Each structure stands twice: as C-alpha cells, then as structure tokens.
C-alpha cells in the first residue's frame, strides 16, 4: 500500500538554497524517501523522517531537511498538498520544539555545518561522490557533459561521423535499444572517427562509440550490447560519479559556483575521465543493465562480452574498452545467462549493419 494514496501530483516549489530561483516541482513518495522532481528531472531525494517544518508566512508550508548543511527548501501553498505532505513526514514538527528550547544550538549547528562543508570539500568528496551524484540535478549534469564533451573531442582529435545511411542505421538501432531501456531521458549517441576500439559514457547521457569499435564488431548484437552497457553507466550516473571522485574539491567548487563551462577544471578532467576506471561494482551493474535490455529485445547479451574477448586478444592494453572496462570470465558467464531468450528480430538488416559500420566513410 502506498504511503500517499491520493494520485493527484503533490505540486510544490523547490528552492536550492544557493540561488533565488523558484522551480515548480512535484513530490513523490518512494518508500522512505520523498523524491522531488522538477521539469528537467529529479532534483533531490529526501528521507521522509528527516524532513522538518521551517519558519514560513501564514498559509505557507515550508519544509527542509533536519541537517542544517542542507540548504534546499520546498514550499506548498495549497492546503490539500500541505496536509498530505504533513502526513508523509513523521518528524515534521520535531525541530520546532527543539528550536524553541535551544536557540543557541542553532549557532552551533551552523558552525558545524560550515565546518562539515569544508571538510567535505577538502577530504571527503572522493568518498561521498557515491552519495552526491544522485543529488546533482540532471540539468547540471548535462551542462557538465557538454563541457567535458569539447575536451573529449580534442583528446581524440576525432570528428563526429555522419554519413547519412550510417546515421539512419544508428538512429534505428538506438530507437530499439532506448525503447527497451525505458530510461525516460533522451540519450545522445555518436560515433567518433578514431581507430581506437572504445566506447564510453560522459556525464549528461552522452555516449560515444569509436569507429575502431565498429570496425572490430561482427554483428549488431555486439554493438547493441556495448551501447546498452554504456546506457547502464548513464542510468546509474557513473560518469558523473567518477568526475566527482576525480575532480575533488576544485570540481565541487566549480559546480557550486555554476561556472564549469570553459573553466580550466574540465580541461584537466577531460582526459582523466577517460583514463580512470569504473569500479567493479559499477561494471557489474552496467552489465546487468545491458543484460536486461538485450533480454527485452530478445537478443543475446553474450556477444558484447565476446567482442571484449576478441579485443583482449588483439589490442594493446594501453587502449580502449580493456582499460575502462576490465574484463573477467565472471562477466562473460553472467552475460551469457542474462538473456536466455533469443527469439527477437535482428536489430539491423545486413545493409543497415554495413551502413552503420560505414558511418565514418565520406561516401555515406
Ligand atoms: Zn563499463
């Protein structure tokens, strides 16, 4: 049974606490969490038990988190929404009693909050990146992705391939994969003219395939599996998490000040984000995601792993998927069992497959 049986959206206004911007949003219950969703996607996820009532003018309900370091607020002026929100937040009025009793504690809390922000920025960012990543608004992640994107193209000295027939085949393939993935956000998938056999996801739902990977692939299932795996990284926001981990303090500050685009920070990170590896857990989760997509398409998930095996045999270890996607026998056997049903139609016809592989040829 849902905690909030009324199906009418809980319309609220979201304030991030850093700017004066008031965003229309809605709140949704997800277990013990209250998920705040803006026009561009999720803004934050608050533990319901930690939500407190804040000072507000008459007739307005203003809520925030008990943790003083959390600056975000939500507001509701509709009495019906107010009473539903109140019913969803068991600790709503706890802070009011505490505040009345111990005003000086607020000052201590503020100092503690400031100290914890500094400590977080300096020492703990790599450790808390896992927890920060889901809180970064998708709109920020997209801006960040656009900034990193320029660096990536420079690093690979590659151009985006656009032979019309190849683009059409890629669009067709992506249409089928995205329908099976059901990510709910548009993905940007492009092929870079570069002989390195690689594929990667950038923050902001951008995925790149290298021409070299298409050249090594033997069938659409292999490429579809790789793309599905990268969508898994995008869905889990792994690229953002990795950027948070590797960027540390300077990255966090740049993000807070909203001035990432064009800053030197990203110049440093463009290369780093491609060189560092995801964790084994992130890879396992992306494989599982790919397995679900391929199963949904009725196609085998193992060809992606077989492509990696071939590359392991062929390619220098300096490059490519081998480094960013450490391969293991475990992954192969898990992918083999991920998609037992293989009765789906081929993802591309032979002609379409050849067109995709030729997407970087100037003839089109
Ligand atoms: Zn991966």
Render pLDDT for 135-166 as a digit per residue (tens, 0 to 9). 778 888 888 778 777 767 766 666 889 999 99
Percent of the chain's residues with pLDDT above 90: 35
More confident residue, 71 or 228: 228
What is the layout of strands, in order, in the sheet containing 188-192?
188-192, 206-210, 199-202
Q: Give the model's pLDDT for residue 202.
A: 84
Which position has the token pair 């981990």? 245
Q: How far, in Å, from the CA of 27 to the mean position of ligand 1?
A: 32
- Residue 78 above 80 pLDDT? yes
- Residue 326 above 60 pLDDT? no
Residue 335 makes CB contacts below 8 A (sequence gap 6+) with 225, 287, 290, 291, 301, 302, 304, 305
CA angle 154, 233, 131 (to 5 degrees): 105
Q: How far, in Å, from the CA of 312 to the mean position of ligand 1?
A: 15
- Residue 100 above 90 pLDDT? no
How is the chain split among helix, strand and coil, in percent rounded to 5? Answer: 55, 15, 30
Evaluate the CA torsion angle 297, 299, 305, 306 in order and state its sign.
negative
- Residue 313 above 70 pLDDT? no
- Residue 131 above 50 pLDDT? yes
Q: Give the model's pLDDT for residue 70.
A: 73
By mean pLDDT, which of 78-82, 121-125, 180-184, 190-194 is the weakest? 121-125
Q: How far, in Å, from the CA of 201 to the mean position of ligand 1?
A: 8
Q: How far, in Å, from the CA of 277 to the mean position of ligand 1?
A: 8
Q: How far, in Å, from the CA of 286 to the mean position of ligand 1?
A: 6
Q: How far, in Å, from the CA of 276 to the mean position of ligand 1?
A: 11
Cα separation, 39 vs 48, in Å, equals 22
Q: Give the model's pLDDT for residue 277.
A: 62
Q: 138: closest CA among 10, 4, 35, 271?
A: 35
Q: Taking residues 228-252, what's their average pLDDT?
A: 75
Q: How far, in Å, from the CA of 185 to the mean position of ligand 1?
A: 19
Ordered by where they begin, the domains of the chain are: 10-101 (2.30.29.30), 134-357 (no CATH)
Q: Give the model's pLDDT for residue 257.
A: 41
- Residue 67 above 80 pLDDT? no
Evaluate the CA torsion angle 163, 218, 170, 225 in order and state its sign.
negative
Evaluate the CA torsion angle 211, 215, 217, 218 in order and state its sign.
positive
Q: Taking residues 276-304, what's their average pLDDT?
A: 87
Q: Give the model's pLDDT for residue 109.
A: 64
> 178 pLDDT band (50/70/90 cuts)?
very high
By mean pLDDT, which of 75-84, 231-240, 312-321 is the weakest? 312-321
CA angle 221, 227, 233 (to 5 degrees): 140
Residue 20 makes CB contacts below 8 A (sequence gap 6+) with none
Q: How far, in Å, from the CA of 58 to the mean position of ligand 1?
A: 52
Protein residues near ligand 1, an ion, with CB under 5 A:
283, 286, 325
Read off the tokens for 27. Answer: 């709140």
Q: How far, in Å, from the CA of 282 to the mean position of ligand 1?
A: 7
190 beta partners: 208
Q: Which helix (H) or strand (E) holds 276?
A: none
Q: How far, in Å, from the CA of 89 to the mean position of ligand 1?
A: 38
């Amino acid at each position: 049974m849902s905690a909030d049986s009324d199906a009418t959206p809980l319309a609220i206004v979201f304030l991030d606490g850093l700017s004066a911007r008031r965003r229309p949003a809605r709140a949704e219950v997800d277990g013990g969490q209250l998920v705040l969703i803006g026009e561009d996607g999720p803004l934050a996820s608050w533990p319901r038990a930690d939500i407190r009532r804040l000072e507000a003018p008459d007739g307005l309900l203003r809520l925030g988190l008990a943790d003083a370091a959390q600056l975000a607020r939500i507001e509701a002026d509709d009495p019906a929404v107010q009473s539903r929100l109140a019913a969803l937040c068991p600790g709503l009025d706890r802070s009011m009693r505490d505040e009345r009793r111990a005003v000086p504690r607020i000052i201590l809390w503020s100092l503690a909050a400031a100290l914890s922000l500094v400590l977080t920025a300096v020492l703990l960012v790599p450790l808390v990146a896992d927890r920060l990543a889901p809180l970064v608004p998708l709109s920020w992640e997209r801006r960040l992705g656009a900034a990193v994107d320029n660096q990536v193209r420079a690093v690979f000295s590659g151009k985006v391939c656009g032979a019309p027939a190849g683009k059409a085949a890629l669009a067709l393939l992506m249409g089928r994969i995205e329908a099976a993935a059901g990510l709910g956000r548009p993905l940007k998938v492009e092929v870079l003219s570069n002989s390195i056999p690689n594929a990667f996801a950038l923050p902001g739902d951008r995925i790149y395939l290298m021409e070299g990977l298409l050249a090594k692939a033997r069938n659409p299932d292999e490429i579809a599996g790789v793309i599905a795996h990268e969508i898994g990284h995008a869905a889990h926001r792994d690229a953002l998490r990795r950027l948070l981990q590797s960027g540390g303090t300077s990255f966090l500050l740049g993000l807070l000040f909203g001035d990432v685009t064009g800053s030197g920070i990203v110049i440093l990170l463009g290369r780093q984000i491609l060189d560092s590896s995801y964790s084994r857990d992130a890879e396992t989760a992306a494989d599982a995601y790919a397995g679900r997509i391929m199963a949904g398409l009725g196609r085998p998930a193992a060809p992606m792993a077989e492509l990696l095996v071939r590359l392991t045999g062929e390619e220098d270890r300096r490059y490519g998927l081998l480094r960013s996607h450490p391969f293991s026998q475990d992954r192969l056997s898990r992918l083999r069992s991920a998609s037992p049903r293989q009765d789906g139609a081929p993802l591309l016809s032979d002609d379409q497959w050849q067109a995709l592989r030729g997407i970087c040829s100037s003839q089109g």
